[in-house]
Structure 1
Amino acid sequence: MTAPASNRSWLKPAAIGAAVLAIAGIGFAAFSHQPTAPDVTFISIDGQKISSQNLRGKVVMVNFWATSCTTCVKEMPQMVETYNKFKDQGLEFVAVAMSYDPPNYVLNYAETRKLPFKVALDSGGDLAKQFGDVAMTPTTFVIGKDGKILKRYLGEPDFASLHVLLQKSLSAS
């Protein structure tokens, strides 16, 4: 025996409401998940090995760039300013030159501009692959003390909002 139609009229809106809430919950979970930065070892231009494991507990910026990238060259002075502003609060910074960038160009650029942070070479392209197949430069990652990627910037970041994020992340315990 079925109930009259007038008694079932609430079923359809309730089912739609439940479906919308379920989809919203899935969407929130997907967007609130912060991926963990890959476990990698950077090789600096002076041959120093920098393990991402050794950077845990610190806020880290990883900037993929190239000497042939005009936006990278344009943003680099502001990257230097950002590093200098936050390094005493514990910011670590690794500028990773793309695999197609000739090492002698990278070395010359870093030396003539006196880059104050670690500059690494991605000779085989492995680092770019492990960071999600980075192809566009500049691409910058901000990694929290817990190793989670807090933000990925494609292109030149909005430095004011980047500084807010860094300040918040560096002051978090």
Structure 2
Amino acid sequence: MNKLGSKLFGLLVVVLIGTLLYLTVFSDGLGKAPDITVKTAQGDTLQLSKPLKPVLVSFWATTCPGCIAEMPHLAQMKEKFGDKFEIVAISMSYDPAEQVAKFIEKNPYPFSFVRDTDGQMSQAFGEVLLTPTNFLIAPNGNIVYQKIGEVDFELVTERIRQMTPDL
């Protein structure tokens, strides 16, 4: 009986590993990123549906304490991975433009800030209403992480390392 349990456990492990491999390599994971092009902090254009490097998209608002609290940690992550990784912070359409501009001026973080002036970006990502909402996009354009709430930095860091093994 013990050998049977051992064999079943081994089979379960193989099935789980196979499923994980399929979901991370062969499937679209959480879907494809929308076909949106943004301008990076360096002045380059970045197509989110095919970014060619990992990109963390973070929807935020100046009135969101969680958003403000995670920004220094996002900056550390960007500095750690450098130009092999990008962060795009998208302010919500309801956030007043002058308030967003003041925040960015006071906090020159090393990542790209984009304003969703008409709500089309949040709509393209599945009707984002709550902030922070974060999406990690793989170099092939697949969304591989999505979370409403502050980023799980340990998990996201590990996913970025898996996508960019030379870092």
Give the TM-score taking structure 2 as reference length: 0.75
The answer on 1:60 being equivalent to 2:46 is no
Structure 2 counterpart of 1:130, which letter?
A: A
User: Could you list the runs of 5+ residues in structure 1 that have no partner in the other structure?
Assistant: 1-27
Question: CA shift at 1:109, angstroms?
Answer: 1.0
Q: Cα 1:135–1:54, aligned 2, differ >3 Å: closer, same or farther?
A: closer
The answer on 1:92 being equivalent to 2:90 is no
Task: Write out aligned runs for 1:106-117 (5 A).
Answer: 106-117=100-111
The CA distance in 1 between the partners of 2:134 and 2:124, in whole Å, is 14
- Name the residue aligned to 1:154: 148
The CA distance in 2 between the partners of 1:49 and 1:41, in whole Å, is 10
The answer on 1:42 being equivalent to 2:19 is no
- Name the residue aligned to 1:142: 136
Q: Contact 1:44–1:121 at 8 Å: present in 2 too?
A: no
Q: Contact 2:34–2:49 at 8 Å: present in 1 too?
A: no
- Name the residue aligned to 2:72: 77
- Name the residue aligned to 1:103: 97
Q: Contact 1:97–1:122 at 8 Å: present in 2 too?
A: yes
Q: Cα 1:132–1:53, aligned 2, differ >3 Å: closer, same or farther?
A: closer
The CA distance in 2 between the partners of 1:145 and 1:169, in whole Å, is 8
Structure 1 counterpart of 2:53, which letter?
A: K
Question: CA shift at 1:42, angstroms?
Answer: 3.1
Q: Contact 2:133–2:147 at 8 Å: present in 1 too?
A: yes
Question: CA shift at 1:72, angstroms?
Answer: 0.4
Larger radius of gyration: 1
The CA distance in 1 between the partners of 2:101 and 2:50, in whole Å, is 23
The CA distance in 2 between the partners of 1:53 and 1:69, in whole Å, is 24
Structure 2 counterpart of 1:91, which letter?
A: F
Structure 1 counterpart of 2:87, which letter?
A: F
User: Could you list the runs of 5+ residues in structure 2 that have no partner in the other structure?
Assistant: 1-18
How many residues align structurally?
A: 141
The CA distance in 2 between the partners of 1:42 and 1:72, in whole Å, is 20
